[in-house]
Structure 1
């Protein structure tokens, strides 16, 4: 079971984000110098490593994602994948550049279970001046793929 790291939670002001490259932003977030987004706590997913164009999240489905049949709602895996996909693109951007998601495609291949810990790895596929794409896999401790996805992001100048 993934436990919450000792990090602050909250929104990072756009003025601060605009001054940092994606790699600098996420390195400082992992170190606890900047807050992690509140969605991390809600979905129990925490960025654990970053390098340019590549991010890793450690995660565990929380009880508030149980569906009416008693299983983990597919939206949990989709949320984790979306985070890894978008942050992989963001990690490769220079200061002053941001993104917005244009499209996300996910495939759920196995049912995640409460109490289990998973890893989600996101990696850039292509990065241009205005479009970035990435792929991510959510895997269990035995390396089995639980879900995977791709995204397309529109890259733009950040306000601030």
Structure 2
């Protein structure tokens, strides 16, 4: 609903929605908890930034793999969303993660960049990389997404 008129808000494409979200960030409770934020979205790509901390450590005193997996899934999904018209949603149906080096809180700001590889009528695939500000790779992954009318 449009706050001013009370009429239904005009439908937005996935890219329009994400660009609005970036400009008026109000992340989910999970995004706030994980200290992650969508910072860029263009046709077929989306980028998150995140700031890991010791609160995400596993018993081995390094960042839990689920932290990286969540960032990858978020970037993958938002990359897919940039390619969707109004009225079409998506859901992750497969996620593959490769961890290539341990992740500690002292790495500082992380960037996770997702890119669409295939945009089909009912299924999309995408890949993502999780890197630090120097471009050092910590994890990469791919996903398959079902797309459907909402």
Normalised TM-score (structure 1)? 0.84
Which structure has the bigger radius of gyration? 2
Any stretches of 5+ residues in structure 1 without a counterpart? 1-14
Aligned equivalents of 1:86, 1:56: Cα separation in 2: 11
Check if 1:148 corresponds to 2:140. yes
1:27 is paired with a residue whose SS is: helix
What residue number does 1:23 align with?
A: 15
What is the TM-score of this pair, normalised by structure 2?
0.89
Aligned partners of 1:43 and 1:79 also within 8 Å: no
Offset, 1:76: 0.5
SS in 2 for 1:20: coil
Matched, 1:92 2:83: yes
Compute the displacement of 1:67 (Å).
0.9
5+ residue gaps, structure 2, are 1-7
- Aligned-residue offset at 1:24: 0.8
Other structure's SS at 2:58 match:
coil
Q: Does 1:132 align with 2:119?
A: no
2:28 aligned partner: 37
- Output the CA distance in 1 between the equivalents of 2:89 and 2:140: 24
Q: What is the aligned-residue RMSD (CA, Å)?
A: 1.6
